[in-house]
Amino acid sequence: MQYRTLGRTGIRVSPYALGALMFATPIGNPDPDDSARIIHKALDAGINLIDTADAYGDSEEVVGKALKGRRDNVVLATKVSRSMGDDPNQQGASRRWIVTAVENSLRRLQTGHIDLYQIHRPDPGTDIEETLSALSDLIHSEKVRAIGTSTMPASDIIEAQWVAERRGLARFHTEQPPYSLLNRGIEREVLPVAQRYGVGTLVWGPFGQGLLTGRVRKDQQNELRRAGFFKHLNDERRLDTVEQFLSLAEEAGLSPTHLAMAFTIAHPGVTSAIAGLRTMSHLDDLLAGIDVALTDDILDRIDEIVPPGTDIGTLDQDYVPPALQQANLRRRPVSERTAGGRYREGPAGPGGQVSRS
């Protein structure tokens, strides 16, 4: 295993990381003992980074139990900020929630410290200085070794770095964005910014939510959708692109999963790719391709199918900034929409009322 340095932390991690979402019994592997066997085999193979989150059901408990006796050999990462209940304060990146959530994660993971504590999604309602201040205190108390983010826009990464420098706070050491053969948008800004600031990058979704594994073909989409699986199978262009990659993998003599994983770790800005596995056979397939390196010819073919910096469709769990979700953040008040600042009569609205524009 060729280990890589995680940003500028000095921590050495494997280029393939084990994602623990599917170890949660309600949504993934229903047998915690089987998940433990998967974790142990991955560690035996040299994979030393495990990534989970407080919002992944009972994943932290499953991982914590599996790591008994092996904790010192693992770079353990978890996350905070996704909703953990009906209480509006049991979410986000406020100091109030972070100091509570970290204690809960430590208890579930049965450990005295977390190697990498990440903000699961950006929290626009909390000042970044407030978040960094709380995380800095966790580092000083030795409950956390390094801190990071997930799906943070490039501009926010830069702002956080500046705030940390100016306020003398711990800076984010890592970013965890989506990245795959289908979703290359982070090549435009996120990866170059991460490289510029020495931020390690742990990418998620390398299999395109299962589409790039070869287990789902375009002619099966209707059957799978009727069964309630793969809600994202509604983008014809995305499905057509998958078929091109499956053909490329066959021509190159590679399995689709090996092509997908090898592509993600080929970028110099990527530290590790997180593979979310559910079964031992999934792990065996991953390990079989751990030494695969793509040639320039194959990478050129990939660029022809999906140009660098391009996204073909979106991932279900990707971050959508508030400005794209809330209409009031991209529309001036009605009274300010004309060049002269005057109301302009519009067509009659419901009930015969005249709308203003």
Write out the catalytic residue numbers. 56
Among 69, 135, 130, which residue's Cα sits nearest to residue 102?
Answer: 135
Concatenating the DSSP letter of every residue in 63-81 gives HHHHTTTTGGG-EEEEEE-
**CA–CA gap between residue 92 and residue 5 (Å, rounded):** 29
Side chain identity at residue 238, one-letter code: R
Contacts 24+ apart (CB under 8 A), 230-238: 231/316, 232/313, 232/315, 232/316, 235/312, 235/313, 237/312, 237/313, 238/182, 238/211, 238/312, 238/313
**CA–CA gap between residue 211 and residue 183 (Å, rounded):** 12
151: Cα within 13 Å, side-chain hemisphere: 21
Side chain identity at residue 291, one-letter code: D
**CA-CA distances (angstroms) from residue 148 to 56, 84, 122, 172, 231?**
18, 20, 11, 5, 30
Contact 198, 7 (CB under 8 A): yes
- Encoded tokens for 136: 């800095």
Among 126, 191, 118, 128, which residue's Cα sits nearest to residue 156?
Answer: 128
**CA–CA gap between residue 326 and residue 311 (Å, rounded):** 23
Among 59, 27, 22, which residue's Cα sits nearest to residue 276?
Answer: 22
User: What angle in degrees, to the nearest 10, is found between the helix axes of 296-305 and 236-252?
Assistant: 160
**CA–CA gap between residue 99 and residue 88 (Å, rounded):** 16
